[in-house]
A and B are shown apart, each in its own frame.
Chain A
């Protein structure tokens, strides 16, 4: 059994708005396990952290080049590295990241070709199939916060001209949809909600509809007509068809805000093709996640063949939790701690379903477990 002894933390090379890095306290925690830590030069700089903030005089925390960070026994990085970065890893190296095996077949192939032992953070589940590393609450709350921010500019204090509560229509009743209801009813921000209550504001109501209503145009037209905010929190069975065809957008009031929490991409060349849940809205990221209807960037991420004629202000972000980077990484670090410990105690090959709680959960997130499961499905 190979027990890893070193870990590399390379920078994420995504949009400039992506500021998330593991925090110094977490790196200190890893070092406290006796693991040599190699941090890529410049790590955390966008968030104001220097290497000294990470090192704190520890003799086993080192600054490293990008290549050296990727050459360690374990590579820890939140969003998946790009294909050319994967090539920097050594065969047998362990990649610990959000890898989304189920929806990224090309990535799985690359990992196998490079002989990388991968552990996908999004696949860590306990014995009753609850994800142990997730931040869906932030997906919903950050998305709704952005939407209410937009609406508040039009209606100071979030008071409609007719003084009625703001209506939020939420499509999808899964985990993200559940949090969206909570966030919608609290104006996307607890502090704002408390102020609003104190001021005697009318509040907001959340109307939630599942799949068996969202496919009914008559009902949806009546709901869209009244919605101030419309949220896509669906998990579609067939991602080749939108939940909200572009014509339906015309039913929304002009002031309405569309919130995209599903963040599926447009991938028209895939088989079957993938389209966004709400047809004709752009794909945002941490650099820009608010798009007015006349935004000059609207068309940049939308293939020409997609109907985007009807438009309302849309908030959309590939990485909603990254809107509040420190809170997000503090949350992930708390969730990650026991898994880092077990990984360095047992190594990738030592993980098993016969082990303890965290051992079992981490084993379910390995590439080998994913591949075994796929074989069973065939």
Chain B
């Protein structure tokens, strides 16, 4: 690596609706750590930030091409770049991103072949195993916010906002890290201001029923629950994703106005060896361009044929729920990543991170590709 560490911040060239980039104050913090910071042309433009907005915080920032960003010592980008982009990295460089090592063996192999180090943001954990860079709260709150927005339109007379209606019934499948936030979000309409306004007007609240996916083996019981569910949330983390938690035919038990909320964002895969199906069978996979699907949306027709889509309800699904509110999301990530980057740059190189060092060093060490490989080779 060169004397002055260089760090490139790349844009995320995914769906059009992906607007997230790190905020100017975060980028300025990197400059203060004596790193040479380069940003890709157009950085921040999805959130209406201009080059001047970044330069006002730090005049030494430079704007370069997409390819040039990937030539730096460190490359920081929230969502993992495509394979083509990863191939732009120089040997010895370090990519910092959500790499998801355990579920992306091909990506791990590619990085190794490129002789690139990486730090997976989703693997940075403290001594008791808590992720230090995560936004599971926004996954749940944003998904439920959208779910309730749809329910406001579909709910029958007298309507969601009527003091005369019965309590809204939300069923949450899976009570892991996302599920716990989902219960909290659901009981507040996914939107604190809406909750406040409803509470002030004396509108009955929300009853949330949470169950582990194991309970769904009992069809009679599930039928009883589904017939009275207004919003069904999938926040399961299944060890075996080849079986749906809610088979498509069970959706028929639900009221016509019901909304299905997909927080697990598992994909569909019809291949025999890797068969995967969403927790709720037959709902489309959304992204930041489209995350609301009416029952007659053409997206249902694009679901692989091995998946039944006969029974449909309004569905909300998004691969990147936190991206719905990009500034809030990146503000949080900036605060979480700040002390980690500070530690990393102060050490000078990923190889100098001591697994038995101080708190943030230990946390970073757990996320290094080289350590992941070591752990998985033994």
A residues with a Cβ closer than 8 A to B are 127-128, 164-165, 173-174, 177-179, 181-182, 184-186, 197, 202-213, 216, 219, 223, 331, 334-335, 337-338, 356-358
Contacts and interface: CB of A to CB of B under 8 A. Distances in A.
6 contacts: A207-B208, A209-B207, A211-B205, A212-B198, A213-B204, A334-B127
B62 to A, nearest CB: 28
Contact of B195 (A178, A206, A209, A212): A212
B211 A206 contact: yes
A209 B184 contact: no
A150 to B, nearest CB: 21
Interface string B204-247: 11111111101100100100000000000000000000000000
Contacts of B218: 165, 202
B198 to A, nearest CB: 7
Contacts, number: 111
B152 interface: no
B307 interface: no
A202 B187 CA distance: 25
A177 B204 contact: no
**10 closest A-B pairs by CB:** A212-B205, A213-B205, A210-B187, A178-B180, A357-B339, A208-B208, A203-B215, A206-B210, A205-B211, A185-B175
A206 B175 contact: yes
A185 B212 contact: yes
Contacts of A206: 175, 183, 209-211
Contacts of B180: 178-179, 181-182
A79 to B, nearest CB: 21
Given A203-B215, A208-B183, A181 B207 contact: no
B187 A173 contact: yes
Contacts of B335: 127-128
A223 B183 contact: no
Interface residues of B, number: 38
Nearest to B200: A212
A128 B214 CA distance: 35
Given A173-B208, A179-B180, A358-B359, 16 more contacts: A128-B335, A174-B184, A177-B183, A178-B184, A182-B176, A185-B210, A186-B175, A202-B221, A203-B214, A205-B215, A206-B175, A207-B207, A211-B199, A212-B198, A223-B207, A356-B342
A162 B306 CA distance: 37
Contacts of A338: 358-359
Nearest to A214: B205
Given A177-B184, A181-B183, A181-B210, A165 B215 contact: yes
A3 to B, nearest CB: 19
B223 to A, nearest CB: 13
Interface in B125-155: 126-128
Nearest to A216: B204
A208 B205 CA distance: 11
Interface in B320-342: 332, 335, 338-339, 342
Nearest to B359: A338
A337 B205 contact: no
A302 B204 CA distance: 33
